[in-house]
Structures are given as structure tokens and as C-alpha cells.
Amino acid sequence: MGPAVSGTRKAKLWGGRFRQDTAKSVLAFTSSLPFDRRLYREDIAGSIAHARMLAKQGIISSTEGEAIVNGLVALREEMDRGQFAFDPHLEDIHTAIELALAERIGEVAGKLHTGRSRNDQVALDLRLYVKGAIDQLTGLIQGLERALVGLAEAHVQTIMPGYTHTQRAQPVLLAHHLLAYFEMLERDRERLGDCRRRADVLPLGSGALAGTTFNIDRDFVARELGFGQVSRNSLDAVSDRDFIVEFLAAASLVMAHLSRLAEEVVLWSTPEFGFLTLDQAYATGSSIMPQKLNPDPAELVRGKAGRVFGHLVGMLATLKALPLSYSRDLQEDKEGLFDTVDTVQASLEVLAGLFSTVKVNAPAMRRAAQEGYATATDAADYLARRGLPFRQAHEIVGQLVRYAEERGKALAELSLEEFRRFSALFREDIHQALTVEASVAARDVYGGTAPGQVQARLEEAKRILGMPADGP
Ligand code: ARG
């Protein structure tokens, strides 16, 4: 154990009952200031609302209330300008702000913490922070959605192979494929909005765990800070981090979706696919191979999904079996949360830029859709529409594919006579039915890839995103 630290200057909010100083190693081990300083704006907002309430209730005088509020506002400006020097020996952001306030306005600063504990204070800061983060990320999700929808709009005619098992399956419109991600991202926005509703509960007024003896006005504080609800159980309010778990879970799904999209960028920009050419601003080079244009930004989005999932599991593990109410374990809620916000934010921004600048190689997509017997299902549907049970139709077209494959031909390159060797139900219109255009047009079911269906969903997406009706 290292030597005890003593300070001439006050460095703690709880020195009174201690005769010995805290070990240096313990100070460093327990301090959250290196990361929770990020909460200074939330902490000051909460303190201003609390001080106003204390003055309104006559718990402190209005002159004291004003002095505290003005001091906090000045401190916030100092911190906004980056001019505030954080003392690394302090325990957390709450301590740093309260001590700095005392240095500026004197003893009256000591009245701010009346009827409050750091336990309900930190819960408040985190709820304010999560609400703000959700608003910010929701906006960035819309930014990516706009980029995807803009690209979809330019490609309502572009036909590509749709895949199952990463094998060419059936032709689809590129716009349909891109709009699939719009659907995922819309669910993400909904989930975040849902999480926000449960974060929108004021915990302040719960005290350390049991409530407070002062005649406080919790509804007033809730209104001041824009909370829709006030917590109903003080023990729960200081212990609850469910809203962080929910946020991390919603963020994990965002990253799962982004990693799938990123993986498609990686695949599609290979010369083997040749579907996309990345803008040089969204690719990186190799230090040894001069020809390389690597999709590193997309790969990193794919890779960073893992750490966000890790933060979710880490938070759950921290909460598991914690007895009520507050325990210092809960301080572990912050770093994973902050890193998640940073990671999701950066990933959304990078992908939005990537998709606003990427070049689509429509002829390569079309070629790939025409190869690989992607319209074989259409041949089977053709026979089934003429009365053959689908299972038999499937069998016949399977034989047809094998026959064509052995001759190195596409289905459409077989003659009518050859088709009729397999089934007399084939007519002159079979060639037309096997084009990729006919294949997508035939899937004219709600939610299907027919151009009319895709166009309708595209218009809806643009309306949801507030994009002009004619043009991205
Ligand atoms: N830094 C602490 C945290 O993040 C603040 C609350 C401290 N409360 C306490 N009783 N030590 O959880």
C-alpha cells in the first residue's frame, strides 16, 4: 500500500469521520473523474434545477439560490471553453464541481447538496445523458437512412442478384436491398425511442436510498429538467441501471445491422463481385501493395460491433446479484456506455458518408443477376401457373438447369424445342418470363421486389425522413 495522501486543499466531500488519509492506490482505483467529467453539463443542469427548487421551497434563501445558480453557470462556461483544470486527485465529477463552486462563491456552495445524495445525483446525470445520446444517435441514424434512400432512389431500375447462403438466389432491385436496411434502422430508431421513455424518469429526491427529510418539490425539478415522470421508489431509483442495459441492447442491434451492411460493402467492393467502387475518401491504402484500395472503414464498423456487444454483457454482469440499493459497482456503468455512444456515432457517420459517395456498377450487378440460373424459380412458377403441382415443376426445372449447365448455357438460351422436351406446358412466352426484368416485375406482392412495390415503399421512406418527393 502506498503512502497516504494529505492535501492542504479540500479534496473530498466526506473527510469528517476519517483520521487517516486515503491510500494513493485507493484514490486512483476509486476515482471516476477521468471518465465521468464527460457528465459535467448534465451534473450542472441537475444542480441548477435542484438549487432553484431549494430556494422556491424556502429550504435555502433566494439570495443563496441565486449565488449558487450563477456560480454554476459561470463554472459551466469555464468548462465549455476548456479552461477548467480538473484536479486528478478528486473522486468524481460531483466532487470536482462542488469544490470548484465553493472556491468561487464560498461557503454558501455547501448548501447545494441539501436534500440530495451523490447516489440520486449520479442516477440523474446518467438519465439526462442517455436521453441526450438517444436524441443525437437517432438523428445520425436518419442521416444514414437518407444516404441509403438517396442511393435507392437512383437505383429503382437496377437489378442485382438477391442472395441466400451467399449464393445467387433470385433477381431483386438494388433499391429493394438498400431499403431492407432502412427497415432495420427504423426498428432501431423505434427501439431507442422506447428506451428513452424508460430513461425519462427523474430519480432526484431519492436521497442516498430512503428519500429525504426536506420538503422538496420533485415535480418542479422534473419540469425544470424536462422529465416526463418522477421515480416511485427511492431504493429502486438509486439502484436502477436498466435504462443503460436497454440502451446498450438497442445500440448493439444498431451495430449488428451496421456490421451486416458493412460486410456487404466489403464483399461488393471486391473485384470478384465488382458491384461497388468506394470513393477514395472512404477507402485506405496498403503500405506494401501500391494497387490497394481497401474498405478499412467498413471493416472497422464490422469489427467495432464486437466491443459494443461486450459493453452490453459487461453491464449485465455488473448488475447481476447486486443487493439493493447503491453499491460502488454501479460506477462501472459509465465507460462502456460512453464508448458505445462514441462507437455508434462514428460508425453511423462513416457509413452515411460512404453511401453518399459510393459508385454503383449497375451493369456488373445485372450480369451477375443473369448468370447462375437466378430465374429458375420463375420457370417453375411458370409451370405451376399452368396447372402442374409446384413440386413436379421444381423437379422438371431442376433437370432443365442441369441440362443447360452441361451445355454451358443460360436457361434463356435454350430453344423452345429444348424446353418442350422437359414439359409440353412451355410456350413461346417462356423466354420473356425468364428475363430478370420479368422476374422482379412478377413479384408484385406487398413487400416484394416488383418496381411498383419498391417505388411505393421508397416514397413512404422519403416521407418518413422528410426528403423532397422528387429527388433525394
Ligand atoms: N462516482 C460515483 C458513481 O459513479 C458517484 C456516486 C458515488 N456515491 C457513493 N456513495 N460513493 O457511481
At residue 41, the pLDDT reads 98
Ligand 1, atom 3: closest residue by C-alpha: 331
Asked if 286 is an active-site residue, the reply is: yes
Beta bridge partners of 277: 359
Instruction: Return the pLDDT at 5.
Output: 44
Average the pLDDT over 427-438 and give the result.
Answer: 95
Pairing state between β 159-164 and 167-173: antiparallel
Indicate which atom in ligand 1 lies nearest the CA of residue 330: 12
356: left (phi over 0), alpha (psi -120 to 50) or beta: alpha
Q: How far is the CA of 390 from the centre of ligand 1 (A)?
A: 66
**334-357 helix and 296-319 helix, angle to the nearest 10 degrees:** 160
Q: Average pLDDT in the 110-124 region?
A: 98
CB-based contacts of 192: which residues, under 8 Å, 6+ apart? Answer: 134, 137, 138, 141, 247, 250, 254
Cα of 119 vs centre of ligand 1, distance in Å, is: 6
Find the 280 Cα to ligand 1 centroid distance in Å.
47
pLDDT cut 90: percent of the chain above it? 90
* DSSP secondary structure of 362-428: HHHHHHHHHSTTTTHHHHHHHHHHTT--HHHHHHHHHHHHHHHHHTT--GGGS-HHHHHHH-TT--T
Q: Is the CB of 244 under 6 A from ligand 1?
A: no
**pLDDT bracket for residue 4 (50, 70, 90):** very low
Dist. CA 328 → ligand 1 center (Å): 6
Please give the domain boundaries of the chain with CATH numbers for all domains: 7-114 (1.10.275.10), 119-367 (1.20.200.10), 370-465 (1.10.40.30)
Tens-place pLDDT, residues 193-243? 999 999 999 999 999 999 999 999 999 999 999 999 999 999 999 999 999
Over 274-298, what HEC string results?
CCEECCHHHCECCCCCCCCCECHHH
Query: Whose CA is closest to 182, among 251, 261, 246, 299?
Result: 261
| Whether 165 is catalytic | yes
Is residue 10 pLDDT above 90, yes or no?
Answer: no
The Cα 101–Cα 33 span in angstroms is: 16
CB 23 within 8 Å of CB 1: yes
According to the model, what pLDDT value does residue 15 have?
Answer: 79
Residue 9's pLDDT band (boundaries 50, 70, 90)?
low
Q: In the predicted model, what is the mean pLDDT of residues 139-162?
A: 98
Q: Which atom of ligand 1 is nearest to the CA of 32?
A: 1
Q: Is the pLDDT of residue 472 over 60?
A: no
pLDDT band of 19, cuts 50, 70, 90: confident
Q: What is the pTM of this model?
A: 0.93
pLDDT in tens, 254-296: 999 999 999 999 999 999 999 999 999 999 887 877 777 899 9
Sign for the CA dihedral angle at 391, 394, 398, 403 comes to: positive
Q: Is 328 in the pocket of ligand 1 (CB under 6 A)?
A: yes
Three cell numbers at 394?
421444381
